[in-house]
Amino acid sequence: MVEGRCALVTGGAGFIGSHMVDRLLNEGFRVVIVDDLSSGKLKNVNHHATFHHMSITQPSLLDVFNREKPDLVFHMAAQSSVSRSTKEPMLDAEVNVLGTLRLLDAARRSGVEKIIYSCTGGALYGEPLSVPSPDDTPVVPISPYGMSKFIAEQYMEFYRRQYLVDFTSLRYGNVYGPRQAPDGEAGVIAIFIAAMLNGKRPVIFGDGNQERDFVAVDDVIEANMAAIDRGSGKAMNIATGELTSVNRIFELLKEITGFRWDAEHAPARAGDVYRISLDCSLAARELDWTPQTDLADGLARTVEHLKGNVPAGVR
């Protein structure tokens, strides 16, 4: 029953969060956004939602929860830069661990029914022995980002045991799609497209043979919706189970955009996983979810969106 229900989305001005807000509004939820706009964009904020410009690390987060009384929380706010986490691990932990802990405490005190947590698969498992990696793959992060996201997930489990705050943790692959910022580091697809549309050569870090599991944002949103009533207390992978190299992404985008030049190469970045894809069998069983978006189609839609939204000079 959706009527009268309230959903709070942390990071609701961001790439994935803004899509989540739109979907929830379309489903009839009253939606509240908490975002400090450190990476999110004001233009992404749906004006039908209530917007609180603040960080999840602020003590006043509890006031928002007490005022808005959300039934559900989609926790998507994060410090999501792997390289920044290696340079500033304290900041990474402050946002991803302490910010999540503050959110959990506010959820407990205000009577939230369930939290759907946006976690990470690739950064959690490090360099796994088996690919695609199942949900019970040993957690051995090679970056502070992966560690902080896992610790936050463990706090979710603790709050469920101790205070009966239900949760489902969704461990994403490499999410891509419209609204992904081309001026950060987390979205290689958006970065490549922006460079190509501006007539500049994209930079590939390392040899480009590193492989990822690219999942479309529309499929991620479907998984979040499915987790509202299912997957209680579970952590599960949300991806495609398929490996795609960075070089292959470049070639596909080159074909879609008509770009004529080769990419540049730079040294590999610290903390980046070399080869990862995720087995999503648990999500198929628990959420009745499987990815639906063909990679080439998803890339074409992303290019089409970015054509009118690429700042000049972004590379």
Q: Which residues are catalytic?
A: 145
| Residue 67 near residue 50 (C-beta atoms within 8 A) | no
For residues 170 and 132, what is the distance between their CA atoms, to the nearest angstrom? 16
Give residue 69's identity as a one-letter amino acid code: K
**Quick one: CA torsion of 212, 303, 39, 184, rounded to 10 degrees?**
60
What is the end-to-end Cα distance of the chain in Å, rounded?
45
Residue written as token pair 């490499």? 174
> Helices 99-110 & 144-163, crossing angle to 10 degrees?
20
Q: At residue 18, what are phi and psi to the nearest 5 degrees?
A: -70, -35
3-state secondary structure at position 209: coil
Considering just the CA atoms, what is the radius of gyration of the chain in Å?
19
| Residue 15 near residue 181 (C-beta atoms within 8 A) | yes
Cα→Cα distances 256→104, 209, 222, 301, Å: 43, 20, 26, 10
| Residue 220 near residue 172 (C-beta atoms within 8 A) | yes
For residues 31 and 28, what is the distance between their CA atoms, to the nearest angstrom? 9
For residues 294 and 219, what is the distance between their CA atoms, to the nearest angstrom? 11
Within 10 Å of residue 204's Cβ, how many Cβ atoms?
Answer: 22
